[in-house]
Structure 1
Amino acid sequence: MVRMLRPFTRAVTYTRWLHLFVACVWPTIWALIDSSRMYVAVAVLALAGLVPAMRTAEGMQADTLLLGRRPGVENPRSPGSAKNPEIPESAGSARYAEIVSTPAASWGDRGRTVLWLQCRLFLGSAVAILTIHLPMLATDLAATARGGTPDPATFVQVPGQHWWHALLIPLPIVLLAGVVVGAGRLITVLALRLLGPSPAERLAALESRTEQLLERTRIARELHDTIGHALTVAVVQAGAARTVRDPAFTDRALEAIEETGRTALEDLDRVLGILREPERPVSSRPTLVEADRLLESARASGVKVDAEVTGPLETVPGPVSREGYRILQESLTNVLRHAGPVPARARVRVADGTLLLEIRNPLAGETPGPGRGSGLRGIRERAALLGGRARTGPDEGDWLVRAELPLG
């Protein structure tokens, strides 16, 4: 019983009822003018559906009255939003079902708007007629139960007194309640189908969502590489200074921590600036031309880096050079984090239309597996994004990170 009465405790049940009644305004006005030509009203309504702006008007009205949305509130069926109990289950077969309020952009959108207007007209008219006649039927049943005369405009035309009609009085009211709830859900389902986004609009929304996710992933990767490198250097330097207990070494360690922290703060400010101002260009990100800074930072942390750089780094395209810098940074960070102050070999070569990055260090301490770690996964993702490839894992007693990035 509580479940049956629950729809009548929600405002959206009554706004849907109102939405169906509004559909009857046009035929009612036409009937007052010329009831013998109702087909003309239907034809005019169909022509109105071909106007692109009609989809906007119908979408806004349906979105407010059928889904119970307030203007400016996130769509209850949009990704990441909570499930709205006001929307029936049958209406939510599509995961991101919604009603759009943009002008019709194609003849397919116009055709669906015309069909929507006709469905709304006939369903609304039926509900309006039942809303008027079912309460009158209950009144007539009460009248015939007392022996009165029924209204000639209503359904029951049984003269005389029939006491048992009193038992039937609740039925029209219950039927009206079912009509209100059922028709409201039906019109909502039709609105989601006919006023929902077209396949082209769904594809555009999916592409936009994908772009947002890719941007979030890129920013998360930037923060991981930058902050992870700075913290790793700081931890290694602080631990070494405490172990050595040499004032001169401690001063050098503090200088390295200060320099690394300053660079990390600059990178963090840049990433946060991109979040605040998405239109800000990414050209300020470091490139391989600044690789010496990375190598010196690693050397200051105790890693003996044997670097070999061949080829004109300044000719490497910006996107490739920036991603190559991050791959080199993450590789050196992994050396510090997992192997400690061990000899490492870094080779950067630009030749034959390819940027080759190869970092080797002896296997020591904790070594991540080929598929573990967000840093290693980030290296592979960066390479794949540029159409290249990356390999990470043990190789002849060393830990190897090798990335090949095409320059084209």
Structure 2
Amino acid sequence: MILGAALSVPPLVAGAVSAPPRWPLPGRIAGFTLALVVVIAVMGGPRAARRGCVTLANRWLGTELPAPAAASPRSRWADRVRTAAWLVPHAAVGVAATAVTGALVFAAVMFPSVWLSGGDRVAVLWGHVTVTAGVAGAWCPVVTALCLLLAAYVTVVAAAGLRLLAPVLLDHRPAERAAAAEERARLLAGRNRLAQELHDSIGHTLTASTIQAAVASELLERDPVAARRALTTIEETSRAAMDDLDHVLGALREQQAPTAPARTLADLGALVESVRQAGASLEATTEGSLDRIPATVSREAYRIVQEGLTNALRHGAKAGITLRVTARDGLLELELVNLVGGAARFRRGGRSRHGLDGIADRVRLLNGEVSAGPADDTGGGRARWRLVARLPLGPER
């Protein structure tokens, strides 16, 4: 209420200056009203004014208004008008409540002071009240209590009125609510994408590290150099996974992430080498110009290959893995084939559905096609698993 009263000072001063006594009454009324409207409009114009009004209403009136959303130029003018309209009742109610509660508190102090000082006549509004000393004036403490209760009641009623009015003038309009909903949807989609990236990166690292640790254990006494090389690879891949984890957790906390890894097909060589160092036999071939692939497609393609290789290491044989990456005719094709095992039978759900679902989601978002399942041809009694993803590259760059 005191802030509302303070807000009324600039427009009232401007109105008083704009209505000099020498003007005729209609001119003074017009000048006062015009100055009042202009100053209130200026006060409600800045975007910070609306944010401040929303913050004050939430903190001191107990409302739950959302923060102002980014708006178009047309919406910005509507917000300015609504903010200025809010300042009018805030200032008016603030002046009235402050004046009434101030008078009541003054009366609550004055009556017992006069009574304890020996009594006197006290001016009340347009009349006078005689306060008698001694027992005859013992009603003064009762008046004090009533004045304080009435002051509290006035404050509560004024706050309740503003609390009802705040959502009407400070809440989001339908267009703002739609924009806020879209922003929340984009945020959730981004977080889901980060979670998928974390699954791909950490899953690949843990699978490769587990295999390399087993290799290091077997070679520790027979070939210490190879064992040391495997342990070094574990350290490097784990550090890269920690970078990914740090980045994703920082983004999920809505803070500035210390690192921002964005691996693309340009990093495919390092990924292939890490799989080979895990003891797998991997033959990788590339066709076409991979550096001309759009950045978004290149990032998602890297994650698809990473998840496919992780599944190959986790569920297949470490021998006979082939990877082919082809970019031509506006299409990027990723083909990964690996041996499953002698006379192996494919069972529904035998593969990690979570990883395959993640690959399918990435391909679907890029309007591509994906297929995964047993290869049609088998050789030497050994079944093979084949993953193929085709991603459109869009216009030539």
Q: What displacement does 1:60 show?
A: 6.8
3-state SS in 2 of match to 1:359: strand
What CA deviation, in whole Å up to 9, does each residue of 1:295-336 have, x standing for no partner?
444344343446565555454333322321221112111222
Q: Does 2:42 align with 1:47?
A: no
- 2:363 matched residue in structure 1: 383
Match of 1:153 among 120, 125, 136: 125
| Kept after mapping to 2: 8 A contact 1:309/1:347 | yes
**What aligned pairs does 1:290-305 form with structure 2 within 5 A after superposition?**
291-305=268-282
3-state SS in 1 of match to 2:41: coil
Supply the distance in 2 between the matched residues of 1:319 and 1:341 (Cα, whole angstroms): 30
Supply the distance in 1 between the matched residues of 2:196 and 2:54 (Cα, whole angstroms): 38
Q: What displacement does 1:379 show?
A: 2.6
- 1:350 matched residue in structure 2: 327
- 2:9 matched residue in structure 1: 25
Match of 1:120 among 76, 80, 90: 90
Supply the distance in 1 between the matched residues of 2:306 and 2:79 (Cα, whole angstroms): 51
For residues 61 and 212 of structure 1, do their structure 2 counterparts lie closer, same or farther at Cα, with a shift above 3 Å needed? Answer: closer
3-state SS in 2 of match to 1:285: coil
Q: What displacement does 1:177 show?
A: 0.5
3-state SS in 2 of match to 1:106: helix
The structure with the largest alpha-carbon Rg is 2
Q: Does 2:229 align with 1:255?
A: yes
Normalised by the length of structure 2, the TM-score is 0.65
Match of 1:285 among 249, 263, 287: 263
- Aligned pair count reads 364
For residues 164 and 18 of structure 1, do their structure 2 counterparts lie closer, same or farther at Cα, with a shift above 3 Å needed? Answer: closer
| Kept after mapping to 2: 8 A contact 1:20/1:127 | no
| Kept after mapping to 1: 8 A contact 2:230/2:278 | yes
Normalised by the length of structure 1, the TM-score is 0.64
Match of 2:77 among 80, 104, 107: 107
- 1:179 matched residue in structure 2: 154
Q: Does 2:206 align with 1:231?
A: yes
For residues 262 and 155 of structure 1, do their structure 2 counterparts lie closer, same or farther at Cα, with a shift above 3 Å needed? Answer: farther
Supply the distance in 2 between the matched residues of 1:349 and 1:341 (Cα, whole angstroms): 23
**What aligned pairs does 1:330-341 form with structure 2 within 5 A after superposition?**
330-339=307-316, 341=318
Letter in structure 1 aligned against 2:232: E
What CA deviation, in whole Å up to 9, does each residue of 1:202-242 have, x standing for no partner?
67766666666666655555454344423322210221343
| Kept after mapping to 2: 8 A contact 1:112/1:194 | yes
Supply the distance in 1 between the matched residues of 2:95 and 2:29 (Cα, whole angstroms): 13
Identity %: 32
For residues 158 and 122 of structure 1, do their structure 2 counterparts lie closer, same or farther at Cα, with a shift above 3 Å needed? Answer: farther
Q: Out of 204-213 and 119-128, give the one that drifted further.
A: 204-213
Letter in structure 2 aligned against 1:113: T
What CA deviation, in whole Å up to 9, does each residue of 1:71-98 have, x standing for no partner?
xxxxxxxxxxxxxxx551xx11x4x356
For residues 134 and 269 of structure 1, do their structure 2 counterparts lie closer, same or farther at Cα, with a shift above 3 Å needed? Answer: closer
| Kept after mapping to 1: 8 A contact 2:325/2:335 | yes
3-state SS in 2 of match to 1:298: helix
Letter in structure 2 aligned against 1:285: R
What CA deviation, in whole Å up to 9, does each residue of 1:357-396 have, x standing for no partner?
23344387999777853x4454334323433344557788
Supply the distance in 1 between the matched residues of 2:362 and 2:138 (Cα, whole angstroms): 83
- 2:379 matched residue in structure 1: none
Q: What displacement does 1:407 show?
A: 0.8
For residues 215 and 109 of structure 1, do their structure 2 counterparts lie closer, same or farther at Cα, with a shift above 3 Å needed? Answer: same
| Kept after mapping to 2: 8 A contact 1:273/1:280 | yes
Letter in structure 2 aligned against 1:240: V
Listed as ranges, the gaps of 5+ residues in structure 1 are 1-16, 69-85
Say what the alpha-carbon RMSD is for the aligned residues: 5.3
- 1:76 matched residue in structure 2: none
3-state SS in 2 of match to 1:49: helix
**What aligned pairs does 1:69-108 form with structure 2 within 5 A after superposition?**
88=62, 91-92=63-64, 94=65, 96-97=66-67, 106-108=76-78
Supply the distance in 1 between the matched residues of 2:277 and 2:242 (Cα, whole angstroms): 22
